[in-house]
Amino acid sequence: MTAFLTIIILLFIAVAIWQMVKIFDLAQVSSTTIPGVATDKDNTFNGYMMIGFLIFIYAITIASFWYLGDLPLMSNAASEHGPGLDNLMIISMVIIFIVQTITQFLLHYFAFKYKGEKGKKALFYADNNTLEAIWTIIPVIVLAGLIIYGLFTWSSIMNVDESDDPMIVELYAQQFNWKARYAGEDNVLGLSNVRLIDNDRANILGLDESDPNAQDDIITTELHLVVGRPVLFKMRSQDVLHSAYMPHFRAQMNCVPGMITQFGFTPTITTAEMRQNPDIIEKVANINKIRVENSEAIEERGQEVRYEFDYLLLCNKICGKSHYNMQMKIIVETQEEYDAWIKEQKTFKNSLIN
Amino acid sequence: MSAHADTHAHDDDHVHHHKETFVTKYIFSQDHKMIAKQYLITGTIMGIIGVMMSLMMRMQIAWPEEPNALFEALLGKWAPGGVMDADIYLALVTIHGTIMVFFVLTAGLSGTFSNLLIPLQIGARDMASGFLNMVSYWLFFLSSVIMVLSFFVEAGPAAAGWTIYPPLSALPMAQGGSGAGMTLWLVSMAIFIASSLLGSLNYIVTVINLRTKGMSMTRLPLTIWAFFVTAIIGVISFPVLLSAALLLIMDRSFGTSFFLSDIFIQGEVLHYQGGSPVLFEHLFWFLGHPEVYIVLLPALGITSEIIATNSRKPIFGYRAMVASILAIAFLSTIVWGHHMFISGMNPFLGSVFTFTTLLIAIPSAVKAFNYITTLWKGNLQLNPAMLFSIGLVSTFITGGLTGIILGDSALDINVHDTYFVVAHFHLVMGISALYGMFAGIYHWFPKMFGRMLNKNLGYIHFWVTAICAYGVFFPMHFIGMAGLPRRYYTNSNFPLFDDTHDANVIISMFAIVGGIFQLVFIYNFAHSIFYGKKTVQNPWRSNTLEWTAPIKHLHGNWEGEIPHVHRWAYDYSKPGHDDDFVPQHIPLKEGEEELQH
C-alpha cells in the first residue's frame, strides 16, 4: 500500500513539474533562436549541472563505501586460496576507482568548462597519434599485469592437487535442496546414476548398491568440513542446473545434470573461530538489531529472530520456484569434532530399507 | 550494382504521380523512414512494458511481504491479494530481460536508427530492398505480439531467465513457465531472429552498394560504421541462437537429447541420455555476448555523431574510432566463455576467455578517451541529445570498469550471478544503450517528424534519469560484493543478507522515481509529434547528408539529384570557413585540403 501511495504522490509531482515547464515555455518568447536548440542560458545551466552531477557521483561512491563498504564477504576469507583472491580483488578495485575518479572528473569538468557560448569557436583538433598511443599502451600494460596475476590465481584454485589426499565429498543438488555425500573410510565415492534412484528403498541419490565403494558412503543434509584439511567437492544435479555458491570460501561451481563437476579448497577457520572474529561479531550484532526491529514479521514467517553466524551454501543458478530458499548450512570444525559427528551418521549400507 | 542505382533514379520521378494509400503509407510501407518510425514506436511500447516489469520486481524486492495493490491490478491471478507469486517473479525477470535486450535495445534502437540513417546519411534513395525491410518490421511486430501474449497462457510465461538454460527451460515439470509459455518464447524469438537477419542483410548491402558519389568508406559518419559492423555481428551470431532454439524445440517436443541427460524429476527418470546443458550455454552465449555489442555499438555510433556535432569539433581520432569498432566486433565473437567460467567447462578454456575478454577493455578505453578529448576545447551545445551522449560516456566508463573484475575468471568465482553482475551489465549495456537511444531520439526527432521535442522537458528527463540510474545501479555493486545472489524472489530466508535490505529499499525508490519520470519523455514524445514546434531544415547545424533532405518526407529522400560528397562528416570549426560547420556536400574550397584520415 505504501508503495502504491508513493507512486501516486510521485505522479502528482510529475504533473506539477510538467505544468511548470509549460508556464516556463510560454514565458520564453524568443524569435532569434531555433526552438528546441540550447541557448547560452541552457548551456550555462547544464554546465553547472554537470559539476553538480560529478559531485553526486563522488557522493554516492563515498556513501556506498560508508554504509556498504565493510563487505565482510570480501575480507576474512575462510579458505586457503581466499586471501590471494581477495588481494587480486582489492588491487582491481583500487585501479578501477583511480580510473573512475579521474575519467569522470575529466568528462564532467570539460562539459562544464567548454559549455557553449555564442560566437565562440571550437578548436579544430582531429587527431594526435602520440596521445592515442599513450592511452592504448597504458591500458595494455595495466591489463597485462591483471591478466597474468588473474591467470596464476585462477589456475592455482582450479588445479586440484590430488596428492594432498583431499577429503572427497559429493554435493548433490535437486529442486530445492542440497545433500552431501561423504566417501566414508575408503575416501572413494561409490558409483551412482540418477537412473538407480529408488525412493522406496531410500536410495535417494541413485547409488550403485552393488558397488563395494558405495557401502560406507554417508549421506547428510549438513555439510561438515575439517579445518585445515583439503576437500574436493564432486558435484551432481538430478534435475536442472544449480550452482553451489559458498561465498565465505570464495568457492562456486555449477551442478550440471549428466556430468560431474568439481571444486576444491581448504577451509582455514572453524565456525566457532569465525563467530569470534570482531568483524563478524559487529556484522551479526548489526543484523540482530535490524531483526529485532522487524521481529513481528520474522516470527510470522516462522523464523527465529536471533541470528547466529554460520557458513552457507546457496544455490546461485536459477532453478525454479523455490530457488530463493535453496541452502545448506556448512560447519567447519576440528578433526575430533568432525570424527564425533560422522560417527553418528548412518552409512549407505545401513540406511537402505529392504 | 549500377543497375540498382539507376532504378532508384527512376523511382524518383514516378513517386510524384503515384498516389499512396493509407495502408501503403502507414502500415505496409516500404519507405525506410516510415519503417524507422514503426520500429521506434513498437520498441517504445515494448520498453514501457519492460520497465513496468522491472519496477514490479524492485517493489517485490524492497517490500516482499506487503500486499501491493499494483501487483493485483497488473498481475491478476498471479498476485492473489496483492502478494506476488514466486514463479511470476521469475517470469518477470525473464521477460524483462528478453524484452529489453532484444525488443527494445536491438530492434528498437538498431531497427530505428539503422533504417532512418543509413539511406539518409550515405545518400541513397532507400534501402537496397524496401520489401525485405517491410517484411523485417512486420516479423518483428509479430514476434513482439507473441512475446506479450505469452503472459496470458494458463501456466504463465517463460520463467527460466532470459538465458533459458535447459533443463529448466526444457522440462514443463521443472517449472510452470516451461510449458506453453516457453514454447511461445521460442517461437517468438525464432521469428525475431528472422526479422533481425533480414534487417541486417539489408543494412550491409545498402552500406556497401548504395553510397552516393564521393562517399568513400573513410568518409562515412561513425553512425554508419557502427550500424554496418553491428549488422555484420548480427548476421554472424544470431543464426547460432536460432540453431540453439531449434535444438531446444526438438528436445522439448520431439524427444531428442541435445541438451539433456540423466534426469530424475518428480519421482520419475526421464529417457534423455548423452546431451549436455553446457552445449546450450556455448550456443547461447555465442550470440549472447556479441548481442551486448549489437546493443551497444549503435549507441556508441549515435553518440560519436552527436558529441562531434554539439561540440562543434571533429570527432577526435576518427581512424582510431573505426578501428576500435572493428576490434570490438572481432573480439566480441571470441569471448563468450566468460559467462561460463564456473559452468563446469575446462578451466584451461576459462584462462583463454579471461585473456580475450580483458583485451576488449583496450578498444573500449580508446573510445572513452576519444570522447573526452572531443569535448576538450569545444563549444559545447548542451542540448538534451548531447546530455544523454555525455551521460552514456559516464555510464559506459562506470559500468565498463567493473568488467575488469567480472572478466577475470578467478574473481568471477565469487561475484558470478550476484547483484554485482546485475549492476555491471545494466550500467554498461542497459543504461548506456538506452541513453544512446534517447540521444538519438532527441537528435533526429526533427528529421523523423518535422517538429522539435521540448528541450526543457528534455533537461528534466535527462537529469532525473541520470541521478536515478546511478542511484539504482551504483549501490547495487556493493550489495553484490556482499554476496547477494540475483534472481531471488525474496531475501528473507537469509538473515546473512538482512543488512543489505535498507540499500535495496533505497535502490527501489530510485528505480520507481526514475521509472515514473520516463513519463515526461513519453508525454514529450507523443505531444511533440503533433504539436511540437516546427523545425528548420538543419536545426543542429550538422554536417551529415540527412539534413540536406527536405523536412517533408519524400519517398526517395531528395528531390532531384542526390547530393555528392566532397569531404568527411566532421569538418566542424574548420579554420578558413566562416561557419563553424561545413556539410559533406560542400566542395573543397580552392587550396583547401581534406584532412588525411
Work out whether strand B264-265 and strand A327-333 pair parallel, antiparallel, or are unpaired: unpaired
Predicted confidence at residue B10, as pLDDT, reads 45
Question: CA distances (Å), B141 to each of B49, B145, B204, B375, in order?
Answer: 15, 6, 22, 39
Strand order of the sheet with strand A167-174? Answer: A218-220, A177-182, A167-174, A231-237, A261-265
Dihedral sign of CA atoms B390, B393, B394, B396 in order? positive
Inter-chain touch B390–A111, beta carbons under 8 Å: yes
pLDDT tens for B453-499 read 999 999 999 999 999 999 999 999 999 999 999 999 999 999 999 99
Q: Are B345 and B333 in contact (CB under 8 A)?
A: no
Inter-chain touch A46–B387, beta carbons under 8 Å: yes
d(CA B424, CA B409) in angstroms, rounded, equals 16
Predicted confidence at residue B11, as pLDDT, reads 46
Taking 70 as the threshold, does the pLDDT of residue B16 lie above it?
no
* Cβ–Cβ contact B344 with A under 8 A: yes
| Mutation target vs B (from A175, A263, A321, A322; most B CBs, 10 A cutoff) | A321
Q: Provide the whole-model pTM.
A: 0.93
The whole-chain average pLDDT of chain B stands at 92
* Residue B575 located in a structural domain: no
Predicted confidence at residue B19, as pLDDT, reads 67
Of B361, B368, B380, which is closest to A114 when you measure between CB atoms?
A: B380
d(CA B506, CA B509) in angstroms, rounded, equals 5
Of A130-134, A162-166, B79-83, B565-569, the poorest mean pLDDT is in A162-166
Name the residue in chain B with its Cα closest to that of A317: B417
| Mutation target vs A (from B182, B259, B264; most A CBs, 10 A cutoff) | B264
* Residue A287 located in a structural domain: yes
Residue located via cell numbers 543434509: A221
Residue B15 pLDDT grade (very low, low, confident, very high; cuts 50, 70, 90):
very low
Q: What is the DSSP letter of B24?
A: I
Q: What is the CATH number of the domain that holds B418?
A: 1.20.210.10
Inter-chain touch A239–B520, beta carbons under 8 Å: no
Inter-chain touch B66–A42, beta carbons under 8 Å: no
Predicted confidence at residue B3, as pLDDT, reads 41
* Cβ–Cβ contact B378 with A under 8 A: yes
Measured torsion, CA atoms of residues A13, A19, A21, A26, in degrees rounded to the nearest 10: -170
Range of the domain at B47: 2-263+277-548
Total tally of structural domains belonging to chain B? 1
Inter-chain touch A50–B65, beta carbons under 8 Å: no
Query: Other CB atoms closer than 10 Å to residue A14's CB: what's the count?
Result: 19
Of B63, B376, B410, which is closest to A3 when you measure between CB atoms?
A: B63
Environment class of B6 (CB within 10 Å of its CB; exposed 0-12, middle 13-18, buried 19+): exposed
**Mean pLDDT, rounded, for B130-143:** 95
Query: Other CB atoms closer than 10 Å to residue B93's CB: what's the count?
Result: 22
Query: Other CB atoms closer than 10 Å to residue A312's CB: what's the count?
Result: 18
* Residue A114 located in a structural domain: no
Residues 215-234 of A with CB under 8 A from B: none
Range of the domain at A192: 163-351
d(CA A170, CA A173) in angstroms, rounded, equals 10
Q: Are A127 and B386 in contact (CB under 8 A)?
A: no
Predicted confidence at residue B1, as pLDDT, reads 37
Inter-chain touch B478–A71, beta carbons under 8 Å: yes
pLDDT tens for B199-247 read 999 999 999 999 999 999 999 999 999 999 999 999 999 999 999 999 9
Taking 50 as the threshold, does the pLDDT of residue B6 lie above it?
no
A176 prior amide bond cis, ω within 30: yes
Residues 132-191 of A with CB under 8 A from B: 132, 135-136, 139-140, 143, 146-147, 150-151, 153-155, 157-159, 175
Q: Are B375 and A110 in contact (CB under 8 A)?
A: yes
Name the residue in chain A with its Cα closest to that of B381: A116
Residues 26-85 of A with CB under 8 A from B: 34-38, 42-43, 45-47, 49-50, 53, 56-57, 60-61, 63-65, 67-69, 71-74, 85
Of A24, A43, A121, which is closest to B381 when you measure between CB atoms?
A: A43
Taking 80 as the threshold, does the pLDDT of residue B4 lie above it?
no
Predicted confidence at residue A34, as pLDDT, reads 79
Tell me the chain B residues in contact with residue A92 when contact means C-beta distances shorter than 8 Å. 404-405, 408, 411
* The three three-digit cell numbers of residue A134, written as one number: 599513450
Inter-chain touch A68–B479, beta carbons under 8 Å: yes
Residues with Cβ < 8 Å from B288, sequence gap 6 or more? B163, B241, B336, B339
d(CA B99, CA B106) in angstroms, rounded, equals 9
Say how many CB pairs under 8 Å bridge A and B. Answer: 436
Of A121, A247, A321, which is closest to B573 when you measure between CB atoms?
A: A121
Torsions phi, psi for B28 (to 5 deg): -90, 60
Taking 60 as the threshold, does the pLDDT of residue B18 lie above it?
no
pLDDT tens for B36-65 read 999 999 999 999 999 999 999 999 999 988
Predicted confidence at residue A29, as pLDDT, reads 55
Tell me the chain A residues in contact with residue B359 when contact means C-beta distances shorter than 8 Å. 143
Predicted confidence at residue B596, as pLDDT, reads 63
Inter-chain touch B572–A124, beta carbons under 8 Å: yes
* Residue B384 located in a structural domain: yes
Q: Residue A279, Cα to own-chain centre: how many angstroms?
A: 19
Q: Are B295 and B429 in contact (CB under 8 A)?
A: yes
Opening angle at CA B112, ends B327 and B207, nearest 5: 50
| Mutation target vs B (from A154, A260, A280; most B CBs, 10 A cutoff) | A154
Q: What is the DSSP letter of A1?
A: -
List the pLDDT tens digit at each of the 354 positions of chain A. 566 777 777 777 777 777 777 776 666 655 567 788 889 999 999 999 999 999 999 999 999 999 888 776 678 899 999 999 999 999 999 999 999 999 999 999 999 999 999 888 899 988 889 999 998 999 999 999 999 999 999 999 998 877 888 999 999 999 999 999 999 989 999 999 999 999 888 899 999 999 999 999 999 999 999 999 999 999 999 999 999 999 999 999 999 999 999 999 999 999 999 999 999 999 999 999 999 999 988 898 888 999 999 999 999 999 999 999 999 999 999 999 999 999 999 999 988 887
Torsions phi, psi for B315 (to 5 deg): -60, 135
* Residue A293 located in a structural domain: yes
Tell me the chain B residues in contact with residue A300 when contact means C-beta distances shorter than 8 Å. 65
Predicted confidence at residue A246, as pLDDT, reads 95
* Residue B77 located in a structural domain: yes
d(CA B160, CA A320) in angstroms, rounded, equals 7
* Residue A331 located in a structural domain: yes
Total tally of structural domains belonging to chain A? 1
* Cβ–Cβ contact B474 with A under 8 A: yes
Nearest one of B557, B595, B570 to B221, comparing CA atoms: B570
* The three three-digit cell numbers of residue B576, written as one number: 578558413
Residues with Cβ < 8 Å from A153, sequence gap 6 or more? A81, A84, A85, A88, B410
* The three three-digit cell numbers of residue B144, written as one number: 513482439
pLDDT tens for B279-327 read 999 999 999 999 999 999 999 999 999 999 999 999 999 999 999 999 9
**Residues of chain B above pLDDT 90, percent:** 86
Q: What is the CATH number of the domain that holds A284?
A: 2.60.40.420
